[in-house]
Amino acid sequence: MFVLLRHLQRVRREAALPPRSGARSLAVRHLDAGSCNACEHELTATAAPQYDLARFGIGIVASPRHADVLLVTGPVTKRMEGPLRRAYEAMPEPRLVAALGDCALGCGVLGDRAELAAPLEELLPVAIRIPGCPPSPEQIAEGLLTVVRAPLDPPAGRR
Amino acid sequence: MNSAPPVIALSAWREACLGALDRGGRFCGAYASGTGAARRWNALFADGAETLVLSADAGAADPPTIVDLIPAADWDEREAHDLRDLRFEGRESQRPLATHAPETASWTVPVEGRGTHQVVVGPTHAGVIESGHFRFHVVGERILQLDTRLFYKHRGLERAAEGRSPAAGLAFAARACGAGSVTNSVAYAQACEAALGLVPSRELRRGRTVLLELERLYNHLNDVAAICAGVGFAPGNMAFATLKERALRLNCELAGHRFLFGTVAVGGSVLDLDAAAAGRARGELGELRADAEAAWRELAFAASFQARLGGVGVLSTEDASELGAVGPAARASGLHIDTRGTSPGLWYGSAFAPARPPAASGDVAARLEMRAAELPVTFELLDDLLSEPVRPGDAAAGGSTGPIGVARVEGPRGETVCAVELEGEHLGRLHLRTASYANWPALVHAAAGNLLPDFPLINKSFELCYACVDR
């Protein structure tokens, strides 16, 4: 095991990743609404030592109740529309929806119209758009980092 | 293959299917086609390099079920019922597969007894996982029965492909599954070529074989990483994730896409590697091989990891055969089926011998070791294929044409079967049955009797895709 760990340290050194920035975080909940699984492969890859998005405070969380961002892949099938809406409703506010990949962005979607619900944009307010088929881990990092690095909204006025 | 199969009367259907088995055929899928009086119920049987198509006349009456003779046909019949409105005479139950009936009792197996309860998971999961719903019937920690409900990701790809040209239909097969895109695309392209009477050139056969082995390479590395993740062994997971990432980067360098999208065409291949590019690829593959072997050795000495693998999720040889399992999962259970050995449209040659597992014990350990045993075969094949330039290939007219084309291609998780029916110059029917589709019933069966906390591990040892099952 120690050999594996040493090997991983070497990979990290050789990848020469830029240093982490700021002290902010982003909790991401992934939701597959009918993807081909390639977006999932690339999202998983962002955790690999060559990218390691945890450096930037970006982590995949297990429940929408813990999430800042709902990261959606796929063209939204009829059968996934309900689970998608329920996941969004379960999120605390403020919450953001991210469309990961061309299908979630409604571009070049393949399938029978009768089996697809509606483009994600028509179902939920999409704030982050990460195009690609599938987007590379760099593109996913770039898309999520824009949120981490965005200036914070001023606190909402008290009622 | 190329002449339309004779239509079999329903009264002779079961006998015809049994006959195909008796002659050494292996059931590899069934699908409904046509509408109204011209409706057909077709069953496919693998026999060496050939695929036998049996076609029953389902225009006027319901075909008799074959699920009691061939349990592997269970999902095919249930899918045809749900998506193509076909009913089967004599089935004891017709539980929904693709239709999501609201009543749980309609699609689950009743489990009763003191202390039994259900643990419900999905369709959305706690990590980066595809959508699917599991219902575990457990007593204590022990799984008595697992009911799965998939098809959450059903996009209607097969139906959407109907009416399109063979060239335009490729995208529907290719995007059924991101991680099996090459396998499914090659199966589709070969099925179309069989129907159109096109014969692949030497270069086309070589080019496709390179792409298929590159796909197997990154998938096998992924699967080893996934099994490590299944027990929470992070160093192993990350070590193989790192190797997979290198394989994906090599794909991008060689073919312009990390998942090799857009590299396969009907009657053609766009992969173009001159001697220098092929040489560089060989060098990188050599380094990758050495590092993969080193990481594998470390896994072998990680006692806490190894202790979790033996005797878990056992799939016996008989069950693997009855349920129609394919690919590494079938080979790990002692079934020596590998379509690469009978693929004249590719470049494996008659000397190809599939790797044999160190022990065909059918458990998680065997499925993991099967991947490790197959990696050297893939590295050898790629090293050999890349010893000369790989040029774009084509396919020339010369074979016999016909309304139905069928092809079978061995992918990382096993055999994809693709059937294409042409109506004039357009697709009348596209049917894609991937290895994940074939293996889901085997996974469900292997889970029973195990501990619930071992399910992620059992699941990852099959590493089945949901997208290409749901289509």
Which CATH number covers residue B268? 1.10.645.10
Identify the pLDDT of residue A155.
55
Same domain, yes or no: B372 and B291: yes
Binning pLDDT at 50, 70 and 90, where does residue A14 land?
Answer: confident
Residue A9 CB neighbour total at 10 angstroms: 11
Same domain, yes or no: B68 and B120: no
B302–chain A nearest CA distance, Å = 6
Q: Does some domain include residue B258?
A: yes
Q: Which of residues 106 through 145 in chain B touch A, CB cutoff 8 A?
A: 123-124, 126-131
Residue B167 CB neighbour total at 10 angstroms: 13
Q: Does some domain include residue B463?
A: no
Listed as ranges, residues in chain B with pLDDT below 50 are 1
Same domain, yes or no: B299 and B391: yes
**Does this complex have an ipTM over 0.85?**
yes
Helix, strand, or coil (residue B267): coil
Same domain, yes or no: B80 and B198: no
Same domain, yes or no: B129 and B59: no
Q: Does some domain include residue B470?
A: no
Same domain, yes or no: B42 and B183: no
Q: Is B399 exposed, middle or buried (0-12, 13-18, 19+ CB in 10 A)?
A: middle
- Among residues B372, B388, B331, the alpha carbon closest in space to that of B354 is found at B331
Q: Which two tokens stand for residue B385?
A: 């294929």
Q: Looking at the complex, does the CB of residue A8 fall below 8 Å from at least one CB of chain B?
A: yes
Q: Does some domain include residue B434?
A: yes
Identify the pLDDT of residue A158.
44
Same domain, yes or no: B355 and B231: yes
Identify the pLDDT of residue B151.
96
Domain count, chain B: 3
Count A/B contacts: CB-CB distance under 8 Å.
148
What is the dihedral sign for C-alpha B6, B10, B12, B13? positive
Give the chain B residue nearest A43 (alpha carbons). B128
Same domain, yes or no: B241 and B135: no
Last residue of a domain, one of B50, B84, B118: B84
Does B181 contact A60 at a Cβ distance shorter than 8 Å? no
Identify the pLDDT of residue A5.
85
Q: Looking at the complex, does the CB of residue B199 fall below 8 Å from at least one CB of chain A?
A: no
Q: Does some domain include residue B333?
A: yes
Does A83 contact B465 at a Cβ distance shorter than 8 Å? no
Binning pLDDT at 50, 70 and 90, where does residue A153 land?
Answer: low
Q: Looking at the complex, does the CB of residue A16 fall below 8 Å from at least one CB of chain B?
A: no
Does A110 contact B160 at a Cβ distance shorter than 8 Å? yes
Last residue of a domain, one of B126, B149, B172: B149
Give the chain B residue nearest A41 (alpha carbons). B179
Q: Does some domain include residue B222?
A: yes
Residue A123 CB neighbour total at 10 angstroms: 17
Same domain, yes or no: B117 and B206: no
Q: Does some domain include residue B443?
A: no
User: What structural domains and CATH numbers belong to chain A?
Assistant: 31-149 (3.40.50.12280)
B-chain CB neighbours of A50 within 8 Å are 242, 245
Same domain, yes or no: B319 and B430: yes
Residue A68 CB neighbour total at 10 angstroms: 20
The Cα B432–Cα A150 span in angstroms is: 45
pLDDT over 70, % of chain A:
92
Binning pLDDT at 50, 70 and 90, where does residue A22 land?
Answer: low
Same domain, yes or no: B319 and B200: yes
Q: List the domain range (segments joined by +) for residue B74.
A: 7-84
Q: Does some domain include residue B382?
A: yes
Same domain, yes or no: B28 and B117: no
B-chain CB neighbours of A11 within 8 Å are 242
